[in-house]
Amino acid sequence: MNDRIKAFFAVAAVFLICSAAWASDEAPAFKRLDDMEKIVYGEVGTGGLIDRLNRVEKALFGRELPGTVAERQAALARFVEEGTDTQPSLLFKMSIAEWITEQVSMPVKPIVNRIGSLERKLEGQAMEDGPLAMRLERMLGLLVSEPVVWSSVVVPSGTVVRVSLLETISPSSVTVGDTVKGELTRDVVVGNVLVAPKGSVVEGTVSSVSKPRSFGRPSEVRFAFEELIPPSRQAVPLSVGEAANEAAKAEKAQIAAVGGSLAGAILLGPLGLAGGFLVRGDVKEIPAGSIFHMEVSESTSVLSYPVPEGLISLIEVPDDRLSKDIELSDREVDNL
């Protein structure tokens, strides 16, 4: 048994032994389990609470956890989503493994698929069984010589993020309160610390919807991207501000200079500096893949990945980002 697998068992033991200290009544039992099943399998399971809980624990650890239902779910949440001061969460490690392998994370996919995909890329085939957490540690052992760690870094206000819309938005298909999702098209990095890899989810909300009205007044949808969800799951607040506007304008000018175009970027214009975006009826829909520029609205401390010296070359430099963005935009135009 190698040192990394031994370390996995040691960490898992800490989570199991201390599970009682993490028990919380904040989330109803079924709701908390629903969330874990969506993360692990991509869907909510069926059957009784205990059977479902046993299934998730065995999938992750190869065994059932001790303690009450509340204690076991608290231990699961801490291991999968929250981590500790010294031990990153499973989701954090998963995203870092994906970033090292392909420079993109896939948080919208369930853990079972993400680990299987990683195994196929590295070893040619996915394992049929074995605890998911141990399988991930084994993959990390192939990628980096030292355990993955996290440390706190401040993401400065005004940091620009570039977002690709995940699902098409149209006045006929959304209602007030609907969640709007996008993904990063490039990494968010502070120095040599990776805050959020390309592919990380950005979430927002539809704030108003107006159907077509009399006298030819068009339908409208107002929405805003509100937060970036990095691998640590510590939300980073976003808004449309001067830095985002300037970045979008500069990118459009650079792309136009080489004969390309920028699908979706400030296509709709901001509603003030923090109001988000407006879809009018004369724009029938905003297709998935449309690009938006946002910025961090206030400096935020986030647990992030200090990139080891041997992996520094994976961090994109600004010129590389621009050329990749131009190629992406041309493909997006072809798909419109």
Distance of alpha carbon 75 from alpha carbon 66, whole angstroms: 10
Structural domain boundaries of the chain? 29-82, 90-149, 152-314
Inter-helix orientation angle 49-61/29-41, to 10°: 40
Concatenated DSSP letters of 109-165: S-HHHHHHHHHHHHHSS--SSS-HHHHHHHHHHHH-SS----EEEEE-TT-EEEEEE
Cα atoms in the Cβ-side hemisphere of radius 13 Å centred on 256:
7
Check if the beta carbon of residue 41 is closer than 8 Å to that of residue 33: no
Residue 202 phi, psi (nearest 5): -120, 130
- Long-range CB pairs of 30-39 (<8 Å, 24+ gap) are 32/73, 32/77, 33/73, 35/77, 36/73, 36/76, 36/77, 36/80, 38/110, 39/80, 39/81, 39/91, 39/110, 39/111
Structure tokens at 32: 């908390």
For domain 152-314, which CATH number applies: 3.40.5, 1.10.10, 2.40.128, 2.60.40?
2.40.128
Distance of alpha carbon 131 from alpha carbon 8, whole angstroms: 11
Structure tokens at 303: 């647990």
| Model pTM score | 0.84
**How far is CA 284 from its chain centroid?**
28
DSSP H/E element including 324: helix 318-335
Contacts of 48 (CB under 8 A, 6+ apart): none
Query: The tokens 């204690």 sit on which residue?
Result: 71
Looking at residue 283, its pLDDT comes to 66
Looking at residue 290, its pLDDT comes to 87
Sign of CA dihedral 228, 230, 233, 235: negative
Looking at residue 281, its pLDDT comes to 64
One pLDDT digit (tens) per residue for the chain, 336 residues: 456 555 555 555 545 545 444 444 444 556 789 999 999 999 999 999 999 999 999 999 999 999 999 999 999 999 999 999 889 999 999 999 999 999 999 999 999 999 999 999 999 999 878 999 999 999 999 999 999 999 999 999 999 999 999 998 887 788 899 999 999 999 999 999 999 999 999 999 999 888 766 556 667 888 889 999 999 999 999 998 889 888 888 887 777 776 655 554 444 455 555 667 877 666 677 888 888 999 999 999 999 999 999 999 999 766 555 555 545 444 443 433
> 312, exposed or middle or buried, with CB in 10 Å at 0-12, 13-18, 19+?
exposed
